[in-house]
C-alpha cells in the first residue's frame, strides 16, 4: 500500500469510524452482556459458571484488553495509511 499524502480530514473521519466500532463492542460486552442481557445469558454456561455472570466479572475485562490492543494496532495502521506514521520510540 502506498502512503497517501497527509490528509487531516479523511484521517479524522476514518479514526472516528474506528473508535465508534470499538466503543460499540465495548458497550456490548460490558453494559450489554454484563448488565442488560445478563439474565438471558445466564442460561448458557462457560465451564461451571453462568455466562452472564462470567461476562460481568471476567469476560468483559478480557475483552477490554483485547479492544485496546486492537485500537493500538489499527490506529497505527491508519496513521501510516494517511502518512502520519511515527518512529517507534
Partner 1 sequence: MDQTIWNFIFIGITFGVYIGIAIWSRAGSTKEYYTAGGGVSPFANGMATAADWMSAATFISMAGGIAAAGYGASKFLMGWTGGFVLLTTLMVPYLRKFGKATVPDFIGDRFYSNGARLVAVICAIFICMTYIMGQMRGVGIVFSRLFDIEIWMGVMIGGGIVFFYAGLGGMKGITYTQVAQYCVMVFSYTIPVVFISMILTGNVIPQLGLIGNYIKDGTENAVPLIVKINQISTDLGFQEYTASTSNTLDMFCITAALMIGTAGLPHVIVRFFTVKNVKAVRKSACWTLGFIAIIYLTAPALGMFARTNFVEEINQKKYEEAPEWFKNWEDQGMIAWVDKNKDGVMQYQEGSVFAEKPVYIDETRVAGGPRPVSNKLSDSANEVYYDRDIIVLANPEMAGLPKWVIALVMAGCVAAALSTAAGLLLVLSTSVSHDLMKKIIKPDISDKQEIRYARMASFGALAVAAYFGINPPSSFVAKTVAFAFGLAASSFFPTLIMGIFSKKINKQGAIAGMICGIGFTLGYIIHFQFLTESKDYWLGISPEGIGFLGMFINFAVAFVVSAITPPPPREVQELVENIRVPQGAGKAIDH
Answer yes or no whether residue 22 interacts with partner 1 by CB under 8 A: yes
CB atoms < 10 A from the CB of 35, how many? 13
Footprint of partner 1 on 27-86 (CB under 8 A): 30-31, 34-36, 38-39, 42, 46-50, 53-54, 56-58, 60-62, 64-65, 67-69, 71-72, 75-76, 79, 84, 86
**3-class secondary structure for 18-84?**
HHHHHHHHHHHHHHHHHHHCHHHHCCCEECCEEHHHHHHHHHHHHHHHHHHHHHHHHHHHHHHHCCC
To partner 1, the closest distance from the beta carbon of 1 in angstroms equals 18
6 and 83 Cβ atoms separated by less than 8 Å: yes
Q: Which residues bind partner 1 (CB under 8 A)?
A: 6, 8, 11-12, 15, 19, 22-23, 26, 30-31, 34-36, 38-39, 42, 46-50, 53-54, 56-58, 60-62, 64-65, 67-69, 71-72, 75-76, 79, 84, 86, 88-89
Amino acid at each position: 500500500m502506498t502512503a497517501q499524502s497527509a490528509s487531516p480530514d479523511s484521517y479524522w473521519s476514518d479514526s472516528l469510524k474506528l473508535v465508534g466500532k470499538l466503543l460499540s463492542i465495548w458497550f456490548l460486552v460490558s453494559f450489554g452482556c454484563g448488565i442488560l442481557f445478563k439474565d438471558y445469558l445466564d442460561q448458557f454456561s462457560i465451564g461451571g459458571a453462568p455466562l452472564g455472570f462470567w461476562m460481568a466479572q471476567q469476560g468483559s475485562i478480557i475483552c477490554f484488553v483485547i479492544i485496546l490492543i486492537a485500537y493500538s494496532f489499527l490506529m497505527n495502521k491508519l496513521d501510516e495509511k494517511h502518512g502520519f506514521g511515527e518512529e517507534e520510540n
